[in-house]
Structure 1
Amino acid sequence: MAFKTLLTVVTDTDLVDCTLNNAITLANAYDAHLDVLCLGVDRTQTGYYYAGANAMVLQETLTRATADAEKLASAVKAKLGSTDLRWGVDHGVAQLADIGRHVAARARFSDFCVLPKPYGKDRGIELEPVLEGALFEGGVPVVVNPCSQAPLEAKPKRIVLAWNESAEALRAVRAAMPVLEAADAVHVVVIDPPQHGPNRSDPGGMLSQFLARHGVKAEIDVLSKTLPRVSDVLLRHVADVNADMVVMGAYGHSRFREAILGGATRNMLEQSSVPVMMAH
């Protein structure tokens, strides 16, 4: 499937340039229409009143969020107005607890989303539910870029594909097929394959055959878990092969478990220095 509609969400003026530059690069590369949703975040909690709070205080937070959304929309329109892209910009206000629903309503009718890294210094708490809204309720693949010094590669030449035979990993493979087909090399990484099962003698073999029939230049890298976390092994291999992107399934465990105990998805989003394309 070709990418024809791309969505990005901006909630922070400091991340407008980084997020839009990545989205513009991808939209140009795939000749896609770019939709931008600008959200002012109302951070008050529904039903919660602190001492002395009244309707005027709550109205003030709503007014501030509305002004933030309008400021974001103006900045985005000014930047996109100088491009040759087909684009659209919408803005609104969302409460922090409800932001995922607003994102999902737009993401459902997009081919994929491009979003900033949700974790790290100076990253707002709203970036995590924005990402999860697109992945879970929106059901679309998401490209998360760390916004590092290196520009985003629209069509990466060398890709690491994390494969564990899960449904999430297979959805990521199907969603990323246009990207995989354009790559010079795709490293299918299998970490500690199961010792029992139908694929024990040829881990990743059936996936490699599937990819080859699509013209993907895939090779299988079977690795041992020699570091404490799967994400550590994966990131080391990304550096070893000088990969431009990681493709992986997202949240094979519950979001609650990953938030408390950690997991490959959260660790990759926190630590990866290259873009991560994921699907759930």
Structure 2
Amino acid sequence: MAYKSLLTLASSAEGVAAAVDAAARVALASDAHLDALALGVDRSQIGYSYVGSGAVILQIAMERAEEEARLNGKALKDALAAQGPDLRFSLDSAVAQLGALTDLVSSRARYADLVVLPKPYGKGSGPEAEAVIEAAMFEGQAPVLVVPERGFAAGAAPRRVVLAWNQSREALVAARRALPFLKAAEQVVITIVDPPAHGPERSDPGGMLCQLLVRHGVKAEVAVLARTLPRISDVLARQCQDLDADLLVMGAYGHSRFREAILGGATRNMLESAQVPLFLAH
């Protein structure tokens, strides 16, 4: 198994270079094709405009979205040109209203083995950045590699990987989808934070998953950690720092997206603060 069809999308110019560089490294190492899509988003709320002004507002909003798509397309084009002549890629652009963004993104993501995106929070990022990630994972059913400002690992594949494990469906899906990265890594640490004393894996936390991965040739081991910090995401972040990890793999949105948006959760916390590339699947 290898990633043969990759997709990256730009809803703003921020983070495009790091995301394209990461996607290109993976594509070149896997002899894969990279599709790049520049997005322009119409964020107008026409339902709240004065009577008779709707057409004018729509026209202005569409012109802004088209200009945004051009700027994002230029950022993508420059980043792709910096990757050298061996990269096979295509570049396209599209404009959509914020409410229709999910359909547009999912229609592209469902035909990709891996979607590579910049970190959704930070300077220049709007609400559409998180919407793109969620659309790719939920409706597009694609794993997502989120690349922070510092970029991807030095090589085409991460050397040390932290795999977050909590026995959930989402975590298992993430582990399976990340197999190409896991098999290429020098070390994969299955990390379990404060496992339940009466759970199904109480006698051997992470043992069955470790066995599964080892049979695939993954150099896996298990680490069971106490919850010494207030949030699970903080413990995982410290584990990545302690191991000098190049990638964190985790299942995404074990709770509902609405609950995470209001109350927070491990997925949202990691997306906000991740210092290493983050591999997510749902």
| Class of the TM-score when normalised by the shorter of the 2 chains | over 0.9
Q: Does 1:120 align with 2:119?
A: no
Cα distance in 2 for partners of 1:244, 1:151 equals 6
- Superposition TM-score, scaled by structure 2 size: 0.94
Confirm or deny: 8 A CA contact 2:189 2:221 kept in the other structure: yes
Cα deviation digits, residues 139-170 of structure 1 (max 9, x gap): 01000011226766530000000000100000
Report the counterpart of residue 17 of structure 1 in structure 2: 17
Cα distance in 2 for partners of 1:50, 1:235 equals 48
Offset of residue 185 of structure 1: 0.5
User: Are residues 130 and 30 of structure 1, via their aligned partners in 2, closer, same or farther at CA, if it must alter by over 3 Å?
Assistant: same
Report the counterpart of residue 212 of structure 2 in structure 1: 210
Bigger mean CA deviation after superposition, 152-161 or 128-137: 152-161
Identity of aligned residues (%): 55
- Superposition TM-score, scaled by structure 1 size: 0.94
User: Are residues 83 and 51 of structure 1, via their aligned partners in 2, closer, same or farther at CA, if it must alter by over 3 Å?
Assistant: farther
Cα distance in 2 for partners of 1:94, 1:174 equals 33
Aligned length: 280
Of residues 225, 228, 235 in structure 1, which corresponds to 2:227? 225
AA matched with 2:90 = G
Cα distance in 2 for partners of 1:245, 1:37 equals 24
Report the counterpart of residue 33 of structure 2 in structure 1: 33
Cα deviation digits, residues 201-237 of structure 1 (max 9, x gap): 1000000100110010111000011111111111111
Report the counterpart of residue 142 of structure 1 in structure 2: 144
Give the aligned CA root-mean-square deviation in angstroms.
1.8
AA matched with 1:246 = L
Offset of residue 51 of structure 1: 7.3
Of residues 241, 262, 265 in structure 2, which corresponds to 1:263? 265
Bigger mean CA deviation after superposition, 191-200 or 103-112: 191-200
Report the counterpart of residue 92 of structure 1 in structure 2: 94
User: Are residues 50 and 26 of structure 1, via their aligned partners in 2, closer, same or farther at CA, if it must alter by over 3 Å?
Assistant: farther
Bigger mean CA deviation after superposition, 181-190 or 141-150: 141-150
Of residues 198, 211, 214 in structure 1, which corresponds to 2:200? 198
Q: Does 1:188 align with 2:190?
A: yes
Offset of residue 55 of structure 1: 1.0
SS in 2 for 1:38: strand
User: Are residues 56 and 152 of structure 1, via their aligned partners in 2, closer, same or farther at CA, if it must alter by over 3 Å?
Assistant: farther
SS in 2 for 1:273: coil
Confirm or deny: 8 A CA contact 2:15 2:148 kept in the other structure: no
SS in 1 for 2:157: coil
SS in 1 for 2:249: strand
**Gap regions ≥5 residues in structure 1:** none
Cα deviation digits, residues 1-27 of structure 1 (max 9, x gap): 211000000121233323222222221
**Gap regions ≥5 residues in structure 2:** none
SS in 1 for 2:48: coil
